[in-house]
Structure 1
């Protein structure tokens, strides 16, 4: 009890220094949490991918399409239960900064995505309307889309201005489901492409495959690719997660840089904290010598130093952890929804707590050793 009182009074002895140290810790832990959340958001699409879905694309590149005739042949591969079409549209809504994903898909596409929830009536309306589309809840919230609205999209890959009627809103099964996309009828796109000069119709960007046994994904992928081996358009079939990670891999250097910065922030605040504790230890040399003269051992003095350091880290780290969720919400709004899924995970909070604890212990090690080694005569001689 006496030790706790001494630790508290020591921590509050220099109020300005304590306040600045706690502020620095708060900012460091907050910054670490936000940077870690950015990395998590980058992997959100891959993390939410299902192991019961495969993606078949052109083996050369995603920019090359596959013939529509491949659909029936893929459906005939053992283990494949459903085949859906999906083509990237790549249009612009009003101005380039309003970027979001748009896909032309077959009518059975949503059967492969149970995590995308659409009311039965809205889905029925969408199926009946050739120009109908479905928009995700996150997208609808960002731009204020509602059922019945007409969305003009200026085509980049497919020229002209395309108008789609919102027939339904797709909700996510949980907060990890990305709903920042627009889907419309692949048949409508294909019929329009047939009327365009110099364009090839009956081409599909990727095929999304449903499989009965996720554990057989690798074997089924090989079997699908074997069907089209030595053809004019060979295929590459992989799990949806591997497909998503292929996009993330393009940004590996950026992600690595973010991780490095997050750890550098912690190292810097550790140095600041160690300096503050070293100053405290030097200022209390006489006090430590007096405590030793009264019979308190080196362990008690080390306890005081570690206790003070951990108290400051608990205060600063706790504030940083509490501020991270609202800061993440503000960051998400400020970035205009660039990250569809941007929430602070439990693992991030645990990492923040671990970092604060490591800083508290590491910063006190050397000052604690110095305090424990103070000699009574030399310490008392330092008076004045």
Structure 2
């Protein structure tokens, strides 16, 4: 308790310096936590992928289509429970700034394979019965103020023209990690229009989604599906939903690595600043430490006071940074919902933030502690006056 009082009094001897150091550590910890959360969210789609869903696409690239006639042959593969199909539409609403995912899908089987899209039965029935209908996620509907019965017009890019859809349902995610910024409409509606304008592109899909009976049979089903179409004009590549999502994430892996490096650099920079602050403090008090030694204080006593002050300042900044992380994450989730459907700070991130703050305190306190505890009495007393 005696040493704790010493540490607290020393912290407030230079209030402005201590406050600025605490704020600096807090900002660094806050930045570290938010950047780490961003990286984690980038991989969230991989983590929440289903073990019982496979994705089949063209083996060359996703941009190349597959015949819709593959459907029945895939259904006949042992271990396959249900099959859906669809195509990336890539339509633009208003302009390119208002981007959101939009797909043409076979509606009934697609919704059965994605139970995380929770849709009231009445709205689901209305969607299935109306070929011109679409369903949208709750966040997307709130962004643009869409209601049931509203008309939504998308400008086609892959499929040119003005495409009109009637909102027949607004789905909610089964949990907060479910993407709620998606528009889904009937693949048949797209195919009929394409058949009239570009017959050569009709009866083709971008991907198949395969629901398997259990995760254990997924590898065998993937091999069997690809074997069906080997040496055909459109060979397939079938992989788990996790592997499929990971393929997209890997395209931006260099960016994620760069963000992680920046987060570590932020901590390293504040570590240097804190170390300089503590070294300055110790240098100013060398005379005091020499006096304390003459009064009977040992090197461990003096070292403990200096080291404790460094750790206390850093932990205070860490706690402040953790506290600020939650309102900052909430602001990002609300104001940048278009880019971050959810921005949740995990318990692991909080622990790492506190560990980072503790590391700053320990590292920045090593040199001042050594210098203060090893000062010779005569050399220290020369600094007095």
Q: TM-score range by the shorter chain?
A: over 0.9
Higher alpha-carbon deviation: 139-148 or 330-339? 330-339
User: Is 1:383 aligned to residue 372 of structure 2?
Assistant: no
Listed one character per residue, the Cα deviations across residues 167-209 of structure 1 (whole Å, up to 9, x for unaligned) are: 1111111111111111111111111111113542111110011
Match of 2:110 in 1: 109
Secondary structure of 2:361's aligned partner:
helix
Mapped partners of 2:152, 2:348: distance in 1: 39
Deviation at 1:133, TM superposition (A): 0.9
CA contact (8 A) 1:42 1:339 kept: no
**Unmatched 5+ residue regions in structure 1?**
none
Match of 1:158 in 2: 159
Change in 2 beyond 3 A, CA 1:298/1:47: same
Match of 1:100 in 2: 100
**Unmatched 5+ residue regions in structure 2?**
none
Match of 1:139 in 2: 140
Match of 1:200 in 2: 201
Secondary structure of 2:225's aligned partner:
helix
Match of 1:34 in 2: 34
Match of 1:15 in 2: 15
Mapped partners of 1:351, 1:116: distance in 2: 33
Higher alpha-carbon deviation: 145-154 or 269-278? 145-154
Mapped partners of 2:336, 2:8: distance in 1: 41
Mapped partners of 2:293, 2:374: distance in 1: 10
Deviation at 1:288, TM superposition (A): 1.4
Q: What pairs with 1:183-262 in structure 2 (closer than 5 Å)? A: 183-262=184-263
Deviation at 1:336, TM superposition (A): 5.3
Match of 1:71 in 2: 71
Mapped partners of 2:157, 2:71: distance in 1: 26
CA contact (8 A) 1:321 1:349 kept: yes
Mapped partners of 1:289, 1:165: distance in 2: 82
Secondary structure of 1:91's aligned partner:
coil
Secondary structure of 1:207's aligned partner:
strand
Match of 2:170 in 1: 169
Mapped partners of 1:153, 1:54: distance in 2: 29
Mapped partners of 1:145, 1:364: distance in 2: 57
Secondary structure of 1:195's aligned partner:
helix
Change in 2 beyond 3 A, CA 1:341/1:86: farther
Mapped partners of 2:376, 2:154: distance in 1: 78
Listed one character per residue, the Cα deviations across residues 45-64 of structure 1 (whole Å, up to 9, x for unaligned) are: 22221111110000000000
Deviation at 1:381, TM superposition (A): 2.4
Deviation at 1:330, TM superposition (A): 2.5
Question: For this pair of structures, how many residues does the alignment match?
Answer: 384
CA contact (8 A) 1:149 1:166 kept: yes
CA contact (8 A) 1:32 1:265 kept: yes
Deviation at 1:219, TM superposition (A): 2.1
Listed one character per residue, the Cα deviations across residues 84-113 of structure 1 (whole Å, up to 9, x for unaligned) are: 012100000011100000011112101111
CA contact (8 A) 1:45 1:178 kept: no
Match of 2:372 in 1: 371
Higher alpha-carbon deviation: 256-265 or 287-296? 287-296
Match of 2:85 in 1: 85
Match of 2:332 in 1: 331
Q: What pairs with 1:223-302 in structure 2 (closer than 5 Å)? A: 223-302=224-303
The CA RMSD over aligned residues, in Å, is 1.4
CA contact (8 A) 1:281 1:371 kept: yes
Higher alpha-carbon deviation: 176-185 or 194-203? 194-203
Deviation at 1:334, TM superposition (A): 4.4
Mapped partners of 1:347, 1:104: distance in 2: 38
Secondary structure of 2:201's aligned partner:
coil
Mapped partners of 2:243, 2:64: distance in 1: 19
Mapped partners of 1:172, 1:28: distance in 2: 34
Listed one character per residue, the Cα deviations across residues 38-83 of structure 1 (whole Å, up to 9, x for unaligned) are: 2122112222211111100000000001101111111111111110
Mapped partners of 1:69, 1:334: distance in 2: 44
